[in-house]
Structure 1
Amino acid sequence: MFLGIVPRSKGRRHPLQLSTEVAEADKHPGCDYQWRVLPLIGSKRKWGDPVGFADRIRLQMVDEKSQSRMLAVSHLDDRSIMAERRPARAESCSWWLSFSRELAIGRDGRVAPVGDFAPYLEYGEVNYVTLVNRAGYLAATDDPYRILRKRTVLLCDLPERGKAVWWRIHRSTSDVVSVAPNASRPVMTRETPARSLSAA
């Protein structure tokens, strides 16, 4: 399943916020799952640099009405994850990115990274990725209202069980084939087309 926006068929023509969810690739049009990794304004990383461990990034997408949106923590509850046209606060759409090639279940039942860390993020099944905003983890959780396939929220800690905060980055929703380590390629901040995030 992939991180995407939830289009609105009714209401405002260009809403400031759109909900996000984690769903199967065929639930929404392909463009609704495409995110572009951008360096943070003023950061040391520039256009074209590989994305490194602990870099701060933004995730940007363009909706079906050609509106640019950022993945952001909603200012309404500081927990919901939205695709916003004009985020109310710059830090709401700034994400620290970390990744690991291996995960392990600790004694407390939480899934945590283990082993060596690669210097740069790579596409496909090579890395498990976490995105952190203001000490909270981007997570995919069950929707108690059963409206969305998986609801995206900010968790204050690693979940007690499962991999709700771990993601993969693919070139597209159809690119789900494992990438061998010797054939992997770093993610570049300016590459097009945009990328897809799948739940690990």
Structure 2
Amino acid sequence: MLSYYLGIELSDSLIISPHKGLNLPWGSCALLVKHGAYLHAAMTLDFQGNCLADTQHDHYSPSEYSLELSRPFRALPLWLTLRLLGTSHFEDCIREKMALTMFCYEELKKIPDIEVGPVPELSTVAFQLKSKDNKGLDELLTKINQDGRLFLSSTKIDGELYIRLNLNSISTHTAHAKKALKIIKEFLNRS
């Protein structure tokens, strides 16, 4: 089991966002809750205005489990895409992104001034300066992002600042990963 699932049984809710790894529209997601009654109580209106007088019923209504009063079919993009393309398309995308991630992880390990974070389990590589100089790392991140050819973000792992290189876009391929590494090296050499 991957470590990001450890303790999942202790959570009250879980959101699944296939729009990230499966390249679907942004609103394609699912919320799983342990206690549906709590979600229902949080979303149920305490008043029934004239426009909602006909909404009283004894059957399950998805509109009573969200902020929207309508019944959007958010699963349609996922269902339709799976129906048309099957799962192999998604498996290939995920395999490619994980291969790119591991490629970048190994290449970043070779850079003398860089210390990589934990071995990636998803499509994000975290790295920092070996000197653990947060000011220098922040400056590096700012300069790279201001340049405009690459966008990186930061995070903290065990209280330490890291830069994140995320490789989950459907448009990201080997040439893009190599270009990202070249840009990172270029800005490291300028420092």
With normalisation by structure 2, the TM-score equals: 0.21
For the pair shown, the structure with the greater C-alpha radius of gyration is: 2
More helix by share: 2
Higher relative contact order (CA 8 A, sep 6+): 1
More strand by share: 1
